[in-house]
């Protein structure tokens, strides 16, 4: 065995050279790996005793892509054209032997090889689009030549990996290896092609699938229409289309040049920087500073849910989907029946769309037990309370539950605002109490705020985080404060939105600005969707806000056909002349001199106080890191991933600019804009939230 460099070894099996890459965790195509590949293939090519070369990876996967952490830094190591020269341009057949996930630059490297062999569980794909990029090492030029243009467009634009069976069908791989015998299978394959000599089969020379798509502009037009909606606000997908178009229009080498240029142009864009930041943020979020990875977790084999309303039902579905039995408890039979019927209807609808089989629906429903008695939760390992948002009711439930639940069981509240420590204090096990704040619809939204109480034990935190992962959520650890991270920041935006409509804007102006910024909807559309009467009561309503007036009039949002907007039968929103008049009258009564408010002010007024609140949250250590706050906003509120989250956005425009604006607002509009000391400190030290 010869070590080519720290991450690459070359061995010989008779007249076949085997080049092994070993660069944990995912064999990313780093400078070392590129150099090892270039030099290893070069050395084997120059060795007269070698007739074919197998490239294989140690560890859990074949090369999973370029090393994302290298982007934007000065290039070192072997270049991609050098790699291509050594592999594709070399004199001997090179066979990629793949397992795990051959993604991005890793898949592209495999496409430079003359042949590809893979185990049945291997996956292939181009996730670059999810990083605000396009494949930059020939993916857009080579894949269409193998799979056909339509399939390649789907792979490149969706970013979704495909399996080995599909790859074989498309001709992307030449043979399936025997499971767990990749090396042997690749060697056997190499022996078959060992005598193949010039001209070696190169994907760049294949033309029939390109020819078949030439002169058929409808292929790209269709994809363009489809993705324009899906990628509202995103930039990279257009570049991906241009690159694939080039595969049709240009000679191979020119197509490669254009692809490379488009790729390089995307690297420094704010969008790609944001998306790469989110990639790492999503992985950091699981790490809890004082709860090491080896903290013991408690077994959770049965889950209890209290409350079969929208939240309780949605929460239960998460566990049923993961194969964990659930007991759901309600106080009245009709509420319980309604809750169960809703869960079944949700599953049936998914089955109708073909995303579940009837057997899956049966299995899931079979794991669900419904009851009216709290006592039935005695053998649950975790109980999640999802009852009405009222401290007295929650305390009552937890007091009872504490007596029923077995020792060691975890008691969680799904509260969105309330103090977990106060709830924990009514139990005899505050160390086993925490918040598990799901977002509506709870079976769909990816975010789970895991709320750590003052006394929550470390194994309980570790268990909740691990469970989040198991049920397909992204768990973010947060501390106890009113509204935790997400809703606490949302409150800032809602307050400003309400002020803005009195000062001069209309609800649809505010909503348009927020929508154009990239969120799925603005604050008023969101209120209409949720229902204006959440937390409103007829008895205490005194026409003291626009919302109260609307509720008193029966305009309670989409469900009543009217709220801030008017709705038609298909729930399409239209600005309401009546609401406009209500707002103008209300403002006049309050003696407010309405003025024209610019879109820029609307955006700054809605977003900067959120950033400021985020800074306070960090200061109070209610979130572990700025990027966790961003993960909350992306996954719980639809903040556009291409803007990286509110804290990343602040870094992007500059904390100094945010601070100056807040000070300006504070001078004219007061307290609400008082800058957080942490923001002041960051600016004084010329730092960003990312540097904390």
Q: How far apart are CA 228 and CA 126, in angstroms?
A: 19
Q: Measured from the CB atom, is 161 or 531 closer to ligand 3H9?
A: 161
Q: Which two tokens stand for residue 296?
A: 């013991």
Q: Measured from the CB atom, is 90 or 135 closer to ligand 3H9?
A: 135
Closest by CA to 120, choosing from 58, 80, 175, is: 175
> Which positions from 136 through 155 interact with ligand 3H9, judged by CB under 6 A?
136-137, 139
- Determine whether 88 is an active site residue: no
Q: Measured from the CB atom, is 230 or 283 closer to ligand 3H9?
A: 283
Of 180, 222, 283, 571, the one binding ligand 3H9 by CB under 6 A = 283
Count the neighbouring beta carbons within 10 Å of the beta carbon of residue 298. 18
Q: How far apart are CA 455 and CA 256, in angstroms?
A: 58
Residue of 88, 128, 449, 503 with catalytic role: 128
Phi, psi (5° rounding) for residue 95?
Answer: -115, 125
CA 403 to chain centre: 39
- 239 preceded by a cis bond (ω within 30 of 0): no
Q: Measured from the CB atom, is 55 or 659 closer to ligand 3H9?
A: 55
Angle at the Cα of 223 (from 222 to 226), degrees rounded to 5?
90
Q: Measured from the CB atom, is 136 or 479 closer to ligand 3H9?
A: 136
Size of the site for ligand 3H9 (CB under 6 A): 27
Q: Measured from the CB atom, is 54 or 66 closer to ligand 3H9?
A: 66
Residue of 108, 385, 449, 613 with catalytic role: 108
Q: Measured from the CB atom, is 144 or 504 closer to ligand 3H9?
A: 144
Q: Measured from the CB atom, is 25 or 91 closer to ligand 3H9?
A: 25
* Residue 307 interacts with ligand 3H9 (CB under 6 A): yes or no: no
What are the residues whose beta carbons fall under 8 Å from the beta carbon of 370, sequence distance 6 or more? 308, 327, 328, 329, 330, 336, 339, 340
Closest by CA to 447, choosing from 484, 480, 481, is: 484
* Residue 28 interacts with ligand 3H9 (CB under 6 A): yes or no: yes
Closest by CA to 690, choosing from 643, 655, 662, 638, is: 655
* Residue 64 interacts with ligand 3H9 (CB under 6 A): yes or no: yes
Shortest Cβ distance from residue 136 to ligand 3H9 (Å)?
A: 3
The region of 25-33, 226-234, 363-371, 423-431 touching ligand 3H9 under the rule CB under 6 A is: 25-33
> Contact letters (x/-) for ligand 3H9, 99-128, by CB under 6 A?
--x-xxx--x------------------xx
The region of 97-105, 308-316, 327-335, 600-608 touching ligand 3H9 under the rule CB under 6 A is: 97-105
* Residue 29 interacts with ligand 3H9 (CB under 6 A): yes or no: yes
What are the residues whose beta carbons fall under 8 Å from the beta carbon of 362, sequence distance 6 or more? none
Of 21, 41, 56, 68, the one binding ligand 3H9 by CB under 6 A = 68
* Residue 69 interacts with ligand 3H9 (CB under 6 A): yes or no: yes
The region of 3-11, 57-65, 478-486, 553-561 touching ligand 3H9 under the rule CB under 6 A is: 57-65
Shortest Cβ distance from residue 439 to ligand 3H9 (Å)?
A: 23
The kind and range of the H/E element at 402 are: helix 391-404
> Which positions from 588 through 607 interact with ligand 3H9, judged by CB under 6 A?
none
Q: How far apart are CA 338 and CA 309, in angstroms?
A: 8
Helix (H, G, I), strand (E, B) or coil at 29: strand
Shortest Cβ distance from residue 103 to ligand 3H9 (Å)?
A: 4
Residue with tokens 């100056």: 660
Tell me the β-bridge partners of 3: 9
* Residue 135 interacts with ligand 3H9 (CB under 6 A): yes or no: yes
Of 4, 7, 19, 26, the one binding ligand 3H9 by CB under 6 A = 26
Of 54, 131, 281, 464, the one binding ligand 3H9 by CB under 6 A = 131
Residue with tokens 């609401």: 579
Complete DSSP assignment for 269-283: SHHHHHHHHHHHHHH
The region of 58-66, 297-305, 329-337, 413-421 touching ligand 3H9 under the rule CB under 6 A is: 58-66
Going by the DSSP 8-state scheme, the letter that residue 66 receives in this structure is B
Helices and strands, counts by H and E, the chain: 28, 20
Radius of gyration of the chain (CA): 29
Shortest Cβ distance from residue 614 to ligand 3H9 (Å)?
A: 23
* Residue 475 interacts with ligand 3H9 (CB under 6 A): yes or no: no
The region of 20-28, 177-185, 582-590, 647-655 touching ligand 3H9 under the rule CB under 6 A is: 20-28
Helix (H, G, I), strand (E, B) or coil at 150: helix
Closest by CA to 411, choosing from 392, 393, 390, 386, is: 386
Q: Measured from the CB atom, is 102 or 405 closer to ligand 3H9?
A: 102
Closest by CA to 484, choosing from 526, 449, 457, 534, is: 449
Angle at the Cα of 609 (from 605 to 613), degrees rounded to 5?
170
* Residue 25 interacts with ligand 3H9 (CB under 6 A): yes or no: yes
Q: How far apart are CA 111 and CA 95, in angstroms?
A: 10
Shortest Cβ distance from residue 156 to ligand 3H9 (Å)?
A: 10
> Contact letters (x/-) for ligand 3H9, 259-278, by CB under 6 A?
--------------------
Q: Measured from the CB atom, is 16 or 29 closer to ligand 3H9?
A: 29
Shortest Cβ distance from residue 110 to ligand 3H9 (Å)?
A: 12
Q: Measured from the CB atom, is 130 or 491 closer to ligand 3H9?
A: 130
**The sheet that has 162-163: what strands, in order across it?**
101-103, 123-125, 162-163
Q: How far apart are CA 28 and CA 65, in angstroms?
A: 5
Q: Measured from the CB atom, is 238 or 545 closer to ligand 3H9?
A: 238
Complete DSSP assignment for 40-79: HHHHHHH-TT--EEEEEE-TT-S--SB-GGGTTSPP-SS-
Tell me the β-bridge partners of 452: 479
Closest by CA to 549, choosing from 567, 565, 564, is: 564
Shortest Cβ distance from residue 107 to ligand 3H9 (Å)?
A: 8
Shortest Cβ distance from residue 251 to ligand 3H9 (Å)?
A: 21
* Residue 66 interacts with ligand 3H9 (CB under 6 A): yes or no: yes
The number of CA neighbours under 13 Å toward the Cβ of 82 is 15
Closest by CA to 446, choosing from 230, 644, 288, 638, is: 638
Shortest Cβ distance from residue 506 to ligand 3H9 (Å)?
A: 42
- Determine whether 128 is an active site residue: yes
What are the residues whose beta carbons fall under 8 Å from the beta carbon of 683, sequence distance 6 or more? 655, 656, 659
Shortest Cβ distance from residue 219 to ligand 3H9 (Å)?
A: 22
Shortest Cβ distance from residue 105 to ligand 3H9 (Å)?
A: 3
Shortest Cβ distance from residue 363 to ligand 3H9 (Å)?
A: 26
Which residues bind to ligand 3H9, rule: CB under 6 A? 25-26, 28-29, 61, 64-69, 80, 101, 103-105, 108, 127-128, 131, 133, 135-137, 139, 280, 283
Residues annotated as catalytic are 108, 128
């Amino acid at each position: 065995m010869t070590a080519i460099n720290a991450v690459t070894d070359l061995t010989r099996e008779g007249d076949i050279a085997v080049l092994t890459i070993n660069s944990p965790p995912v064999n990313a195509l780093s400078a070392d790996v590129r150099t090892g590949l270039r030099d290893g293939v070069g050395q084997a090519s120059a060795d007269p005793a070698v007739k074919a070369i197998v490239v294989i990876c140690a560890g859990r996967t074949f090369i999973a892509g370029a090393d994302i952490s290298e982007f934007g830094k000065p290039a070192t190591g072997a270049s991609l054209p050098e790699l291509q020269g050594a592999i594709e341009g070399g004199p001997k057949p090179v066979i990629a032997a793949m397992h795990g996930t051959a993604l991005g630059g890793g898949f592209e490297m495999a496409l430079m090889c003359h042949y590809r062999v893979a185990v049945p569980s291997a996956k292939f794909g181009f996730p670059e689009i999810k990083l605000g990029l396009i494949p930059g090492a020939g993916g857009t030029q080579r894949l269409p030549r193998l799979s056909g243009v339509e399939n390649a467009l789907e792979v490149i634009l969706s970013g979704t990996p495909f399996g080995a069976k599909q790859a074989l069908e498309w001709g992307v791989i030449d043979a399936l290896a025997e499971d767990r015998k990749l090396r042997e299978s690749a060697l056997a394959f190499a022996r078959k092609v060992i005598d193949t000599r010039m001209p070696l089969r190169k994907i760049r020379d294949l033309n029939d699938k390109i020819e078949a798509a030439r002169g058929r502009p409808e292929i790209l037009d269709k994809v363009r229409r489809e993705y324009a909606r899906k990628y509202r606000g995103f930039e990279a997908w257009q570049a991906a289309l241009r690159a694939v178009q080039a595969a049709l229009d240009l000679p191979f080498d020119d197509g490669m040049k254009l692809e490379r240029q488009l790729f390089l142009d995307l690297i420094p864009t704010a969008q790609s920087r944001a998306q790469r930041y989110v990639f790492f943020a999503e992985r950091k979020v699981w790490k809890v500073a004082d709860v090491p990875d080896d903290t013991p977790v408690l077994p959770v084999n049965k889950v209890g849910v209290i409350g079969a309303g929208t939240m309780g039902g949605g929460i239960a579905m998460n566990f049923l989907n993961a194969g964990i039995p659930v007991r759901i408890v309600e106080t009245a039979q009709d509420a319980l029946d309604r809750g169960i019927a809703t869960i079944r209807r949700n599953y049936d609808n998914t089955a109708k769309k073909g995303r579940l089989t009837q057997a899956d629906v049966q299995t899931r429903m079979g794991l669900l037990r419904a009851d009216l008695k709290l006592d039935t939760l005695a053998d649950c390992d975790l109980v999640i309370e999802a009852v009405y948002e009222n401290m007295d009711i929650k305390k009552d439930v937890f007091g009872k539950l504490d007596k029923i639940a077995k020792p060691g069981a975890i008691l969680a509240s799904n509260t969105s605002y309330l103090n977990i420590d106060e709830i924990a204090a009514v139990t005899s096990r505050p160390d086993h109490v925490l918040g598990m704040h799901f977002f509506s619809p709870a079976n769909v939204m990816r975010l789970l705020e895991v709320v750590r109480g003052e006394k929550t034990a470390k194994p309980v935190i570790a268990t909740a985080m691990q469970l989040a992962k198991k049920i397909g959520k992204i768990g973010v650890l947060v501390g106890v404060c009113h509204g935790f991270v997400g809703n606490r920041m949302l409150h800032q935006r809602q307050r400003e939105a309400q002020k803005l409509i009195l000062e001069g804007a209309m609800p649809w102006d505010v909503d348009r600005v927020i929508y154009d910024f990239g969120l799925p909807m603005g604050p008023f559309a969101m209120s209409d969707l949720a229902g204006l009467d959440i937390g409103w009561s007829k008895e205490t309503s005194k026409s003291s806000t626009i919302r109260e007036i609307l509720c008193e009039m029966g305009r309670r949002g989409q469900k009543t056909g009217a709220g801030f907007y008017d709705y038609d039968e298909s729930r399409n929103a239209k600005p309401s002349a009546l609401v406009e008049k209500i707002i103008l009258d209300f403002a006049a009564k309050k003696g407010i001199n309405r003025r024209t408010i610019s879109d820029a002010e609307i955006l700054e007024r809605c977003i900067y106080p959120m950033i400021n609140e985020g800074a306070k949250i960090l200061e109070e250590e209610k979130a572990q890191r700025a990027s966790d706050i961003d993960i909350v906003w992306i996954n719980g509120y639809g903040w556009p991933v291409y803007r990286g989250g509110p804290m990343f956005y602040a870094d992007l425009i500059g904390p100094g600019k945010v601070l100056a604006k807040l000070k300006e607002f504070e001078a004219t509009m007061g307290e609400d804009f008082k800058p957080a000391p942490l923001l002041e400190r960051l600016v004084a030290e010329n730092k960003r939230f990312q540097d904390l």
